[in-house]
Amino acid sequence: MEAGPEGSPARLEEGALGLARLDSDRALKRPRQRDQQGHRGHPSGPYLGDESRIDLDMATAPKLVYAHITRDPEVRGGIPCIDGTRLAVVDIALLHMRGYQPEEMLDYYMRPLTLAQVHSALAYYFDNREEIEGYFEEARETAERVEAARTAYLNQRPGV
């Protein structure tokens, strides 16, 4: 068990694929809210009276921590990468889109990966599909801008 902010206990539970879930109720010390009469309510939601309250924590999912996936602003602009490498989740996702099986991805790059690293990258991709596909769209737009600039430059040159 780890200690959360201000020494409060934070429980880290490991789930499938090595993903950990942080018990946010214990990790975050939220100030208790007061209702209109000045009574203290539950830290997670508004206090509605003597016995009733709305528990807003039930509506929020716990934050996932992915084993083997890190973000470092100094490595590939801070996109999610496999720890200890410069291989990004988008690289593994691209292999997946091309039909590669996780076992085939292990030796695809110069640096061999473990099956746990590949599965963790795939889990991150499936859980954050919009984010990863946003990287693909950004790369497409950049390639189009580069090609347009190249074409404009070549059209300016006489005799080409």
- Which pLDDT value is given to residue 129? 94
- Which pLDDT value is given to residue 64? 75
> Contact, 102 vs 118, CB < 8 A?
yes
Residue 79 has pLDDT above 70, yes or no: yes
At 127, list the tokens.
Answer: 């859980």
Average pLDDT, whole number, for the chain? 75
Average pLDDT over residues 58-85: 84
What CATH code is assigned to 67-156?
Answer: 1.10.10.10
Residue 83 has pLDDT above 90, yes or no: yes
pTM over 0.75: no
More confident residue, 123 or 17: 123
Average pLDDT over residues 10-16: 44
> Contact, 35 vs 43, CB < 8 A?
no
More confident residue, 79 or 63: 79
> Contact, 4 vs 27, CB < 8 A?
yes
HSE of 54 in the Cβ direction (CA atoms, 13 Å)? 8
> Contact, 121 vs 93, CB < 8 A?
yes
Per-domain boundaries in the chain: 2-64, 67-156
Average pLDDT over residues 19-33: 45
Average pLDDT over residues 32-60: 50
Residue 150 has pLDDT above 50, yes or no: yes
